[in-house]
Amino acid sequence: MSSTMTNSVSSLAQALGEIPPEAVVFGQSEVMQALRSRLDKVASANVPVLIHGESGTGKDIIARLVHSRSPWRSGPFVKVNCPAIPGTLLESELFGYERGAFTGAYGSKPGRVEMAHRGTLFLDEISELDMSLQSKLLQLLQDGQFCRIGAQADKKVEVRVVCATNRKLEDEIENGNFRQDLYYRINVVNLFMPPLRERRGDIEGLVSYFLEYYNRKYNCKARPLSPELKEILQRYHWPGNIRELENLVKRYVILGSEDVISNDLQPRENDLIASDINFDGPISLKKLTRQATRALERKIILKVLHNHHWNRKQAAKTLNISYRALLYKIRDAGLPPNRARRPPEPAKSQVAAD
Ligand SMILES: Nc1ncnc2c1ncn2[C@@H]1O[C@H](COP(=O)(O)OP(=O)(O)O)[C@@H](O)[C@H]1O
Ligand SMILES: [Mg+2]
């Protein structure tokens, strides 16, 4: 058995060991509460589940939660990261082989499908499966049968199949890369993981959780984030979702300085506006440009205030504007008048396109 396979087959305790408390996983936002009740309903029914959403939104965690509530929760949880295994090897990893099936097959080997018997088979990035493997998977889902490479007869196995994808499978079908009949089979229940920018209300809770977690893990004493940094995190568009947020907090705990994070986020924050524009509707260039300019101005002011520990006189000097003008701009941008006060909740980041 290869080491990757050993790692991917975990007992329930191991599978669950990495999952944060459910209050953290689902947070407070409405979208996540809806997801939670959907998960509650479907997990105990032994049907295939398709989890989709951008990278870093928590698809892995949800797959493990589905397993933990499935009728075969005491069985194995076997994960297959489809893109990580070269195409030619994937078939033997998934379905196993018999001795002499190909050059180098000196013995027989069970595949991960077999190892997931009476447990959960989690196929991550399912769109990466090529057409011939898609057919074999379809057979598995239809009648619970599969064939090891080089075997004479089919084998039977009982598994719950959970798939994840960050691509739109409908597009893959349209482009001829994914079988429609397989799509219907894996998509009996669909769970959508919202991107972090659509559940901003949960950012603060996640930050606190990761801060406590990594302080404990690395035996550090990093302090809670300043209101200014929290404000920046609220406005950032999080292309890497929770994974990015987690890494950021981890870096902060280890390096102990907020500057690292704010410097890190500033250049990337400039994508904020473009990524939030709805290009499907009419677009007002004038309005968007005005919004972008204001957002940039706000960021520059915040950064300069931060650098001067919120000494507004010095900040005004650095910005080459009058003290009065700075006060006006601070108020206009909805920033707190001084550092001690928490900044108000920022306006929703979604930029109207009309
Ligand atoms: N809801 C959540 N609460 C806490 N941590 C989370 C949550 N969702 C994801 N994470 C963390 O973010 C990282 C990425 O999550 P993962 O499930 O691997 O995302 P995906 O599979 O969608 O790319 C992991 O380290 C995971 O522990
Ligand atoms: Mg994943």
* Alpha carbon of 96 to ligand 2 centroid (Å): 23
- Binning pLDDT at 50, 70 and 90, where does residue 17 land? low
Q: Cβ(202) to ligand 1 under 6 A? A: no
Of the listed ranges 35-44, 179-188, 202-211, 294-303, the least confidently predicted one is 294-303
In whole angstroms, what is the distance from residue 71 CA to residue 134 CA? 26
CA distance readout (Å), 327 to 104, 171, 231, 332: 74, 50, 18, 8
- Atom of ligand 1 at shortest range from CA of 209: 4
Taking residue 68's Cβ as centre, other Cβ atoms within 10 Å add up to 16
- Binning pLDDT at 50, 70 and 90, where does residue 268 land? low
Ligand having the closest approach to the CA of 59: 1
Percent of the chain having pLDDT more than 90? Answer: 58
Residue nearest to atom 25 of ligand 1 (CA): 243
- Atom of ligand 1 at shortest range from CA of 60: 17
Average pLDDT over residues 268-276: 55
Average pLDDT over residues 174-194: 94
This prediction's pTM: 0.74
CA distance readout (Å), 313 to 177, 306, 316, 349: 61, 13, 5, 30
Taking residue 114's Cβ as centre, other Cβ atoms within 10 Å add up to 18
Tens digit of pLDDT for each residue in 22-65?
A: 999 999 999 999 999 999 999 889 899 999 999 999 999 999 99
Residue with tokens 């990495």: 18
pLDDT at 204: 95
Average pLDDT over residues 336-341: 64
CA distance readout (Å), 141 to 85, 121, 226: 21, 11, 51
DSSP 64-76: HHHHHTSTTTTS-
Question: Residues with beta carbon < 5 A to ion ligand 2?
Answer: 59-60
Q: Cβ(211) to ligand 1 under 6 A? A: no
CATH T-level topology, domain 3-194: Rossmann fold (3.40.50)
pLDDT at 13 over 50: no
pLDDT at 4: 38
- Binning pLDDT at 50, 70 and 90, where does residue 271 land? low
Ligand having the closest approach to the CA of 125: 2
Higher pLDDT, 348 or 130: 130
Of the listed ranges 47-56, 93-102, 342-351, the least confidently predicted one is 342-351
Cβ 179 vs Cβ 131: under 8 Å: yes
Residues 6+ apart with CB under 8 A from 94: 80, 111, 112, 113, 133, 136, 137
- Binning pLDDT at 50, 70 and 90, where does residue 2 land? very low
Taking residue 312's Cβ as centre, other Cβ atoms within 10 Å add up to 18
* Alpha carbon of 8 to ligand 1 centroid (Å): 17
Q: Where are the domains of the chain?
A: 3-194, 198-332
Does this chain's domain 3-194 share its CATH topology with 198-332?
no
Higher pLDDT, 151 or 262: 151
Q: Which class is domain 198-332? A: mainly alpha
* Pocket mutation for ligand 1, best pick of 26, 28, 51, 60 (most atoms within 8 Å of C-beta): 60
pLDDT at 337: 72
DSSP H helical ranges for the chain: 3-8, 12-17, 22-26, 30-43, 59-68, 87-95, 112-115, 131-143, 169-174, 180-186, 203-217, 227-235, 241-255, 258-269, 272-276, 285-307, 312-319, 323-332
pLDDT at 343: 43
pLDDT at 342: 42
pLDDT at 317: 94
Average pLDDT over residues 195-214: 95
Q: Over the chain, what is the mean pLDDT?
A: 85
